[in-house]
Structure 1
Amino acid sequence: MKLLVQFSRIIVGVLFIFSGFVKLVDPIGSQYKFQEYFSEGVLNIEFLIPYTLPFAILLIVAEVVLGIALLVGWKPKLTIFSLLILIIVFLFLTWYSAYYNKVTDCGCFGDAIKLTPWQSFYKDVLLTLLILFLTFRIKDIKPIFAGKLPTIITYISIFSSLLVTYYVLVHLPIIDFRPYAIGKNISEGMKYPEDGSIPLVHDFVLEDSQNDLAPEILAKEKVMLVIVYNLDKSDENGFFKITEVANKAIKKGYTVYGVSASFADELILAQNKYNLPFEFLFCDETTLKTIVRANPGVLILNKGTVVDKRNWVDVDEIKL
């Protein structure tokens, strides 16, 4: 029985750490996922949408810290019951997604591993059973280190998680699991797999008033795309740096476009206000949020391959 307890402890701890880590490197992705859950068409609790980022960060950090706390044996009773509360929340969300087919990707493992709604639900059922088993065997969960070391490790995990979160929010995800990561070729991502499933990139459309310019743009060697998924939610301070780097790029022979899902008249006003030296193309907002976790952000392409990607705060580091 004690061996079974330790086995369950390791499985639960490692899964929570992994699940938390792949989301910790991209908390904005979890924020978008909770916005989807809280929307009118799903849970219909839209009044919580403004708080999705802190809510996402709280859950992500809790996953990592509680997983580590379980492995090192820090305050077993507090850790186990906290894990139980957390898994009940996840169990409800995955069941709701699966039963009502509302959110087709729960985001349990961020963009690292995609699970169907029912796969996510069954995974959480298994974790729930393991955690319930541990609640009845708390006495067998002992610290693996003597003295205050388990406490120190747990507090270090809290500090480290918050530090990583802060860095990622200011800059960009440390690890990018999306098909628009640096080194990925968008054109290749748009090809249908041999099994006929949906391509990884299936909604990359860059429209002007008449045509989709994506094929033309993806064929060019030197391209800079300024991503502004929603003008109203963008950081105004970013446009001054964007204007500067865009002018430099144009002088060096780059094709530069802005890409947004906002209305054309709003974008024209922004062009005039910030002296932006490029025209805007239209693209779906969800796609733009997937491309870069910044608003505004910059994407550098070479024949469809992503060679650089930056939040506006780091655009002066782009090597043209």
Structure 2
Amino acid sequence: MAAVFLFSGFVKANDPLGTVYKVQDYLDAWGAFSLSGGSFPYLASFLMAAFEFSIGVYLLFGIRRWATSILVLLFMSVMTPLTLWLAIANPISDCGCFGDAVVLTNWETFFKNLVLLAAAVCLFKWRRFIFKLVTTKVDWLISLYSIIFILFFTIFCYRYLPVFDFLPYHIGADIRKGMEIPEGEKPSVYETIFTYEKDGVKKDFTIDNYPGDSLWTFVDSHTVLKEKGYEPPIQDFALMSYEDGTNLTDEILADSQYVFLLVAPWLDRADDSSIDLINEIYDYSVEHDYRFLCVTSSTDEAISAWQENTGAEYPFALADEITLKSMVRYNPGLMLLKNGVVLNKWSANALPDEYQLNAPLDRLPLGEIQLKGVSRKLMEVTGSFLAPLAALTIIDLLWMKYRRRKEKKQKKVPDRADNGNPEE
């Protein structure tokens, strides 16, 4: 249970914006659109990561065993029926329990939660057997440190992109290969269902029996999966020129030169604190004959307002909103491509400046894939968490040992009563 909560909280902290998007999906499914567009999803994302990770630490170290077991049981008692509803109603594709690190279907999530609910009941019943790794007097220190660590890690990943990128547009990914279907594999077959109404009666049609009667009124449409097949990691990558509507996808992916993509799903909500630096990068790309595009799903009004407010002279392209949210977990973010391969990504808070872009990209480290291995990053993050924890534990043991020695010395104070000759 400790491992599950630690992993779940950590992957949410690693990709807080992804958790925000998932919370918004839930709120939209419940019709809470007013909450979906505000700050609530961000607050929920940060709190969920901190809560789950902290519960994992509490279980691992045996801290507050009674309260922790109660919280785990209550949490699973809420999540299990919620995931049953998800499995039956299927309002969203997956619950997002483990972010994009481990994607489960809604039914898989429900059965997983049934197992965890049973484990939570056992945990509550036999909570007195949970082993304590630290003394009671240092519980608060371990607890406080864990919360501070996960909050700082969440803020870091929010501002500077996830440390572990589980999305298909990670650094080193070949977008063209990600769109291909391997030889011998069959693609999934979908069918669009059109709902029409006539004389108060609603009826579903497909493209094969589309109603020819003009008295039918269109109501709704939805797509259903008819036959499950191979689904490539990247399915909706398509860029269309904002100026003339030209399809730029193949041209961008086949470009043997460097291509900068400024990814901004919503320009009206984009962080404009690095506008000057973005314009400098555009000037740099013009100077070295690199392509630069701002890719967005914004409206004409939002694009015009962005151009006016920022002095943007770069061209724009349109793309699917969900695709853009998967490309870079920031609004805006910058992506560097060459031959369709993702060489680097930055959030607006970590853009390269003039000191880093002081030569053509083929002569700079930025023009090559600079990628740490997963094992190395895992060791760094784990070490940054466990090393201070180990230090706190050792300090606690030394302090308790010192206190015991001091108490023993106080008990062995020699009797200073005068034992000399009474007459003297």
TM over 0.5: yes
Alpha-carbon shift at residue 265 of structure 1 (Å): 4.1
Matching of residue 47 in structure 1 with residue 83 in structure 2: no
Contact in 2 for aligned 1:111/1:178 (Cα 8 Å):
yes
Asked if structure 2 preserves the Cα contact closer than 8 Å seen for 1:143 and 1:150, the reply is: no
- Alignment CA distance shift 1:144-1:191 (3 Å): same
The 1:38/1:215 distance shift into structure 2, 3 A limit, reads same
Give yes or no for the alignment of 1:293 onto 2:329.
yes
149-158 vs 295-304, which moves further: 149-158
Contact 2:86/2:95 (<8 A) preserved: yes
Q: How does 1:127-206 map to 2 (within 5 A)?
A: 127-193=116-182, 195-196=185-186, 197-206=230-239
**Paired amino acid for 1:60:** A
User: Tell me, what secondary structure is at the counterpart of 2:317?
Assistant: strand
Of 217, 227, 243, 2:252 maps to 217
Partner of 1:8: none
Q: Which residue in the other structure is 2:214 paired with? A: none
Greater helix fraction, Structure 1 or Structure 2? 1
**How many Å separate the matches in 2 of 1:241 and 1:87?**
46
Tell me: higher relative CO, structure 1 or 2? Use CA pairs within 8 A at least 6 residues apart: 1
TM-score by length of 1: 0.91
1:254-311 CA-partner distances (Å, limit 9, x unpaired): 1001100012343134224322231111001111111111111110001111111111
Q: Deviations over 1:237-270 (max 9, x none)?
A: 2323211211112212210011000123431342
What do the CA deviations read for 1:149-184 (whole angstroms, capped 9, x no partner)?
444333221111011011112211111110111111
Secondary structure at 1:236's aligned position in 2? coil
Distance 1:38 1:139, change over 3 A: same
1:28-47 equivalence runs, <5 A: 28-39=17-28, 42-47=29-34
| Kept in 2: contact 1:144–1:150 (CA 8 A) | no
Amino acid at match of 1:217: I
2:287 to 244, 251, 261: 251
Q: Letter of the aligned partner of 1:210 in structure 2?
A: G
Q: Which residue does 1:236 correspond to in 2?
A: 272
Contact 1:76 1:141 in 2 (8 A): yes
Q: Determine helix, strand or coil for the equivalent of 1:174.
A: coil
Structure 2: gaps spanning 5 or more residues: 187-229, 362-424
Structure 2 residue 87 is the aligned partner of structure 1 residue 98: yes
Tell me how far apart the structure 2 counterparts of residues 207 and 152 of structure 1 sit (CA, whole Å): 54
Q: Work out which of the two has the higher radius of gyration on C-alpha atoms and give 1 or 2.
A: 2
Aligned partner of 2:60 among 28, 50, 71: 71
Q: Identity of paired residues, percent?
A: 32
Q: For 1:308 and 1:87, locate their aligned partners in 2 and report how far apart those are by CA, in whole Å.
A: 39
Separation in 2, partners of 1:120, 1:66? 20
**Conserved? CA contact 2:268–2:306, under 8 Å:** no
Aligned partner of 2:102 in structure 1 is 113
- What letter corresponds to residue 237 of structure 2 in structure 1? F
- Structure 1 stretches of at least 4 aligned residues deviating more than 3 Å after TM superposition: 146-151, 193-196, 317-320
Aligned residue-pair number:
307
Q: Note if contact 2:6-2:57 (Cα within 8 Å) is conserved in structure 1.
A: yes
Secondary structure of 1:24 counterpart:
helix
**How much is the aligned-residue C-alpha RMSD, in angstroms?**
1.7
CA shift digits 1:79-127 (9 cap, x unpaired)? 1111223223332332222110111111111111111110011111111
Alignment correspondent of 1:207 = 240
The partner residue of 1:303 within 339, 357, 363 is 339
The structure carrying a bigger strand percent of its residues is: 2
| TM-score, scaled relative to structure 2 | 0.69
Query: Would you say the 8 A contact 1:204–1:287 is kept in 2?
Result: yes
Query: Which letter maps to 2:268?
Result: D
- Relative to structure 1, the CA distance from residue 96 to residue 240 in structure 2 (aligned partners, 3 Å threshold; closer, same or farther) is farther
Is 1:279 paired with 2:306?
no
Structure 1 stretch 130-139 or stretch 146-155: which is displaced more?
146-155
Distance 2:251 2:296 in 1: 18
Gaps of 5+ in 1: 1-11
Report the Cα offset of residue 147 of structure 1. 4.4
